[in-house]
Structure 1
Amino acid sequence: MSKKVYHPEMTYTQFKEGKFNKAIFGVGSAENHGFHLPFGNDTLVSHGIAMAVAQKVDGMLVLPPVNVGVSYHYDDFPFTLTLRPEVLIEVLKDILNSTIRQGINRIIIINGHDGNIAPIEIAARSVKVAHPDVFIASLDAWWVKAGELLPQDTFEVWNGLGHAGEGETSISLYLFPELCQPEEAQGVVPDLPEGLDIKWKFNEITPYGATGDPTKGTAEKGKKMFNVLVDYIVKSIQDLEKNQWKYGVMLKM
């Protein structure tokens, strides 16, 4: 039987009964995901991971996900919505500060979109400096972490990477197949030169709104990705709790 963990669906009485002392939330986007995945894909995946983690961790409250991220490098493809980076930073700071004011000072962020990584870093660092006793951690790129955790032969193309590619299509087919149209999938592995990290716009590297090979995506691969990610996050939290959320070394000056 599942626990009541999702803030928007909870009454104050249920919140009190839950004895929540930790929080987790997803940060997603509202953007084109090729011809075959829903616009809210990044939000749906990051929120799905957060919900699954909360079912396995006592006292974990799931906050509402951030549904719009920094996506202006994708907005040549319809129908993409975007926040400015400075706006997302302030939104995240407000969510973090609100959570802290409500008495929860252990917060996990599950990010679903590449454009959000820098704003999450800036917002989290800023709040941490203002509240040194607060613990904030983030999974910045689940699509990369899944490839690191799974056997190397799990994916057929580009280690499953790409926007709306093999990996993202797989996890979407597993979590919400009713929202996907795999028969419409097209993609390309971009021919980017080795060396410097090029700050591309997405239409420069694909005509399809997707990179990688989404036609190789399967729900079976998606299930493996989802399970290994949830287990990884849960174990990380359990290890932190065993150590009373302490880490590092404090030097006496």
Structure 2
Amino acid sequence: MDAGEFHGRELGKFKQAAFAVLPLGSFEYHGPHSPFGTDIFLAEGFSNLIRKDLNGVIYPAVPYSSCPGKTANYEGTISVRPSTMIEYLSDILEGILKLGIHRIVLLNAHDANMGLTRSVTEYVTIRHPEAKFLLVNWWQMVEVGKSAEIGFIGTSGRGHGGPFEMSAVKGLRPDLVNVKPEDPEFREIDKYSTLPYVTVEGSPEAWDGYTGLISQTAIDKGKMIVKEAAENMNKLIENWIFGTKEGDNHESGVKKANNRD
């Protein structure tokens, strides 16, 4: 269901929904081969792949967000101050909750939204104890170990504007990505540790507003990525809404998330 199509006399439709979906994007430079609206197209695209029988209502995507220094300084990027974004997103979520929808999926396509969204949802639950949020980053719906199976050679394909992300865009909108032979490519930097860590750099190595072996971008890989991500996303949402049944052959993403604190 598309929330933007509801009429004023149809407020009851909101209350009938099992959950709301708020797609989160950005307007950000993704390299010469990729659209500025990459994260918007991905957030909206995956929102539209949520199964109808799960009975969710999809809200319009948030198109602008805070962008890191490594992309904010590239011409064309529009970056919103984090403080503004926190207040703006808080108001949106509270507006949805006031309609009686207590479960909200935040379907994110922009890395810099992760911290902001977690802070906002934790804050909103103080004011609305009945609220339940599921934060879904679409790229985490495909295991990194499946890179070779997807068809990436000598690379995971991951990274901003890289072949994994841009193949996914091609899987949804084949017309939006255009890699040319003269576009520079960047090999991945060796990881500092096998353990999780975060680095923040204004000018990373192997970077010019994007990264990766972009010549490996392809629509067939994109279709595989989109299919895998959509299936896992729907399993996760289904488990979150209805719970898991004993003997399920897949582990709930909710359980995984609960074990990360």
TM-score where L is the length of structure 2: 0.82
Q: What is the CA–CA distance in structure 1 between the aligned matches of 2:208 and 2:141, rounded to whole Å?
A: 25
The answer on whether the counterparts of 2:24 and 2:113 sit within 8 Å (CA) in structure 1 is: yes
User: Which residue in the other structure is 1:84 paired with?
Assistant: 81
Distance of aligned partners of 1:235 and 1:51 in 2 relative to their CA distance in 1, 3 Å threshold: same
Q: Which 10-residue stretch deviates more, 163-172 or 11-20?
A: 11-20
Q: What is the CA–CA distance in structure 2 between the aligned matches of 1:121 and 1:160, rounded to whole Å?
A: 26
Map Cα deviations across residues 207-249 of structure 1 (whole Å, 9 max, x no partner).
Answer: 53211111101111111111111111211222233339xx89x
Write out aligned runs for 1:86-165 (5 A).
86-140=83-137, 142-148=138-144, 150=146, 152-154=148-150, 155-165=152-162
User: Which residue in the other structure is 2:186 paired with?
Assistant: 188
The answer on whether the counterparts of 1:157 and 1:212 sit within 8 Å (CA) in structure 2 is: no
The answer on whether the counterparts of 1:89 and 1:123 sit within 8 Å (CA) in structure 2 is: yes
Q: Secondary structure at the match of 1:205?
A: coil
Q: What is the CA–CA distance in structure 2 between the aligned matches of 1:144 and 1:236, rounded to whole Å?
A: 12
The answer on whether the counterparts of 1:56 and 1:234 sit within 8 Å (CA) in structure 2 is: no
Q: Secondary structure at the match of 2:105?
A: strand
Q: What is the CA–CA distance in structure 2 between the aligned matches of 1:175 and 1:194, rounded to whole Å?
A: 34
Distance of aligned partners of 1:191 and 1:242 in 2 relative to their CA distance in 1, 3 Å threshold: closer
User: Which residue in the other structure is 1:224 paired with?
Assistant: 224
Give structure 1 stretches of 5+ with no counterpart.
249-253
User: Which residue in the other structure is 1:46 paired with?
Assistant: 43
User: Which residue in the other structure is 2:201 paired with?
Assistant: 200
Q: What is the number of equivalent residue pairs in this alignment?
A: 239
Distance of aligned partners of 1:60 and 1:152 in 2 relative to their CA distance in 1, 3 Å threshold: same
Q: What is the CA–CA distance in structure 2 between the aligned matches of 1:233 and 1:115, rounded to whole Å?
A: 20
Give the letter aligned to residue 70 of structure 1. S
Map Cα deviations across residues 78-137 of structure 1 (whole Å, 9 max, x no partner).
Answer: 211101112111111111110000111110011111111110010011112222221101
Distance of aligned partners of 1:148 and 1:12 in 2 relative to their CA distance in 1, 3 Å threshold: farther
Map Cα deviations across residues 163-202 of structure 1 (whole Å, 9 max, x no partner).
Answer: 110101101111112222222643313536615632112x
Provide the identity percentage: 23
Q: What is the CA–CA distance in structure 2 between the aligned matches of 1:225 and 1:177, rounded to whole Å?
A: 14
Distance of aligned partners of 1:13 and 1:227 in 2 relative to their CA distance in 1, 3 Å threshold: farther
Q: How far off is 1:17 after superposition? A: 5.2
Q: How far off is 1:27 after superposition? A: 0.8
Select the residue among 63, 88, 93 that pairs with 1:67. 63
TM-score where L is the length of structure 1: 0.84
Distance of aligned partners of 1:192 and 1:115 in 2 relative to their CA distance in 1, 3 Å threshold: farther
**RMSD value over aligned CA atoms?**
2.4
